[in-house]
Amino acid sequence: MAMKDIYTTLKQVFRERVEAYSALEKTVRVEGGGQSGHEVKLTAEYEGALGECWTSSPADFTGTLGEVLALDIENKPAERSIYLAVLNAVMNKYEMADDCLSCNDSDKERCAAQILQRYKRNNGKVNFLLVGYQPQMAKALATHFPLRVLDLDPENIGKEAHGVTIEDGAAAYADASRWADVILCTGSALANGTIFDYIKLPKDVSFYGTTIAAAARILDIRRVCPFGRNQ
């Protein structure tokens, strides 16, 4: 599946769902909120249901679902981010996606511990690549696996965390992806357009976080989000 095919599939399935509920003229609202590093959380609200997208290209939006379907998600990152937040909210509303909202801060360490236990059960001492620096996950994974961490945030690149130097996600991608046996990648890769770099790899690749909540189900992508919420 090429990157263009990913966008085409998301738009096709979303349009089918919206038209099935005669919802093209229904209104949705998207607003920026919390921030983590260089990424901003967009939250979409549709008929009381919420959906998120973590993105470095945030933009507010108010309009109809028909207008959302007309957004250029292939070429314009800000429009793609709006689209993904709305997709998650709509699929949340119609109970077609799980764990569409970020966990509480108090759950992050428990989340990391649960993810570590999952990978320990299924793997030996494999080379583990974490794409998207998440402090609690990096800390937990570094206790058991040879670990490399990639990130695109200039504020993180070059810093040492838990005995691991955070590497440039673009410059180190080729070497790190060859080195890795197992990859856990942020779902924000769908928003920033790098997801195909990881989907195409003949490796054990999973994604974490809320940005990819609905898309993971639509595209049949493995996702882990132990403490995500739907409301």
Q: Residue 215: give the domain boundaries.
A: 105-224
**Amino acid letter, residue 35:** Q
Residues 213 and 119 in one domain: yes
**Whole-model pTM?**
0.93
Residues 147 and 74 in one domain: no
Residues 87 and 111 in one domain: no
pLDDT tens figures, 93-118: 999 998 889 888 888 888 999 899 98
d(CA 179, CA 79): 34
Residue written as token pair 């005995």? 163
Which tokens in the block code for residue 211? 């940005």
Query: Closest Cα partner for 32 from 15, 16, 56?
Result: 56
How far from each other are the two terminal CA atoms of the chain, in whole angstroms?
32
Residues 115 and 219 in one domain: yes
pLDDT for 206 equals: 96
- CATH number, domain with residue 194: 3.40.50.11590
Domain count for the chain: 2
The residue from 63, 93, 123 where one domain ends is 93
pLDDT tens figures, 172-196: 999 999 999 999 999 999 999 999 9
**DSSP assignment letter at 107:** G
In a domain, 230, yes or no: no
Residues 220 and 154 in one domain: yes
Kindly list the distances between the CA atom of residue 228 and the CA atoms of 38, 56, 74, 99, 151, in Å, as whole numbers in the listed order: 21, 21, 27, 4, 22
Q: What are phi and psi of 15, to 5 degrees?
A: -60, -45
In a domain, 77, yes or no: yes
In sequence order, the β-bridge partners of residue 129 are 148, 183
Residues 84 and 168 in one domain: no
Question: Sign of dihedral through CA atoms 140, 143, 146, 150?
Answer: positive
